[in-house]
Structure 1
Amino acid sequence: MNWDEAIIALGGTPAPTDLEKRYAEPRRRYHGTAHVRQVVRDAVALTDGRDRALVALAAWAHDVVYDGHPGDDERASAAWARKHLTTAGLAEPDVTRVEGLVLATLDHTAPPGDHPAQALLDADLAILAATPEDYERYRQAVRAEYAHVPDDAWRVGRAEVLRSLLAKTPLYRLAHDWEPAARKNLTAELATLTAPKAAAGA
């Protein structure tokens, strides 16, 4: 379900946006067009009825602003969604709902029983359950997006992110079949970040 289709499904009128241009920004190595399309696909597959359009819009908008500033990016993406959904004439409750779904990606925590939020968050983390080869490509792409961060700082920060993901029990609220592969990938990457550096000349 593309952006315009979701707008129409909720009774709005599509209007021009810079959505495609933003996801095609050269600095994006992982959080680009392929990623957002995957999130939309998986999030829609995990929902039904009217929620599919709401989740599709949130999925399209969730990384529309991506400057490498966690927290600020999600809030700016939510504000972008509010602006463009209001322009498209969506009802205020729907605008607020999509905005809230985007903001749920701030800490990747969905309220109990909030199926659409759980679907979006599961879809956003689907890559973690990829094959080892695809996961390695994802890891390299994310590192490239943070090329400005020194290696030592990256190792510390990335390890913290991985530990926080592994601490979530379960990691996936709806897509339970993804859990084993994701935990295996996360654990393997964490081991490479926390292993003692090889001695010089070894």
Structure 2
Amino acid sequence: MAVVTSLVDEFRTAARQAGATADDADLTAAGQYLLSRWSEPQRHYHTVAHLSAVLHVVDLYAGLAPHPERVRLAAWMHDAVYDPRALGDANERDSAEFAEGLLATLGVPAATGAEVARLVGLTAGHATEEDDPDGELLCDADLAILASDEQAYADYTAAIRREYAHVPDDAFRDGRAQVLKALLELPSIYRLEPLRAAWEEKARANLTRELRGA
């Protein structure tokens, strides 16, 4: 319960920093509602633990982003809609639309809500334009798991497989291989220099090892 309370406090703070005018009760309710979405039964990797991990990275490197409160809100929203059976980038599109709508109800200025929605949309392909440090921080934080140690990486891949338990093994391997190749073909998995220096080599080693075993 303490972790949940802390997370809701963090959401409320980020929303206030982004200009939310709703009262504390409504902000608290919104944070609790978001946590309920992150706790849905179809989730095995995209859970509150993943949300917490992304927020932790954002907090560590907040000084690299001009609008860290927007990045934090985008972290909260980036998998708010998550259906493993959805096609393409439908989850990211729906999460972005959800984010803009929810933030509007909380009194966040429309331009800020639209920017948070844009950031959420970036997590579909983790490709950012030049000079987008907010987007780079969100994408790097979302992909931090790729640079974890071998056991944590194995736990991550197992959790992803459970989310896609409805997909036959051959089809899952083919689809997963496409994801891994797309990541390895990026000029750099991580955009922000400190994260790239710390994580790039390990992430590529993990991805390559998984691809070879796929």
Could you say whether these structures have the same fold, taking a TM-score greater than 0.5 normalized by the shorter chain as the test?
Answer: yes
Is 1:135 paired with 2:135? no
The offset of 1:183, in angstroms, is 0.5
Is 1:151 paired with 2:169? yes
The offset of 1:43, in angstroms, is 2.1
What does residue 8 of structure 1 align with? Answer: 16
Distance of 2:59 and 2:102 partners within structure 1 = 20
Distance of 2:101 and 2:11 partners within structure 1 = 14
CA displacement, residues 75-125 of structure 1 (integer Å, 9 cap, x when unaligned): 111111111100111111111110100011122111111000000000000
Distance of 2:211 and 2:173 partners within structure 1 = 9
What does residue 166 of structure 1 align with? Answer: 184
Give the alignment partner of residue 109 of structure 1, picking from 127, 135, 147.
127
Is 1:66 paired with 2:74? no
Distance of 1:101 and 1:63 partners within structure 2 = 12
Q: State which drifts further: 55-64 or 10-19.
A: 10-19
Structure with more of its chain in helix, by fraction = 2
Q: Which runs of 5+ in 2 are unaligned?
A: 1-6
Normalising by the residue count of structure 2, what TM-score does the alignment of the two structures yield?
0.87
Contact 1:44–1:55 (CA under 8 A) maintained in structure 2? no
Q: Which has the larger radius of gyration?
A: 1
The offset of 1:165, in angstroms, is 0.4
The offset of 1:50, in angstroms, is 5.7
The offset of 1:31, in angstroms, is 0.3
Give the alignment partner of residue 203 of structure 2, picking from 182, 187, 193.
182
Normalising by the residue count of structure 1, what TM-score does the alignment of the two structures yield?
0.92
Give the alignment partner of residue 54 of structure 1, picking from 52, 57, 70.
70
Distance of 1:66 and 1:36 partners within structure 2 = 13
Distance of 1:22 and 1:54 partners within structure 2 = 20
Opposite residue 38 of structure 1, the aligned amino acid is A
Q: State which drifts further: 85-94 or 136-145.
A: 85-94
Q: Identity of aligned pairs, percent?
A: 40
The offset of 1:11, in angstroms, is 2.4
Contact 2:66–2:134 (CA under 8 A) maintained in structure 1? no
What does residue 212 of structure 2 align with? Answer: 191
What does residue 38 of structure 2 align with? Answer: 23
Contact 2:71–2:138 (CA under 8 A) maintained in structure 1? yes
* Pairwise CA RMSD: 1.3
Distance of 1:122 and 1:80 partners within structure 2 = 22
Moved over 4 A (4+): none
What does residue 117 of structure 2 align with? Answer: 99
1:28-43 alignment, distance < 5 Å: 28-43=43-58
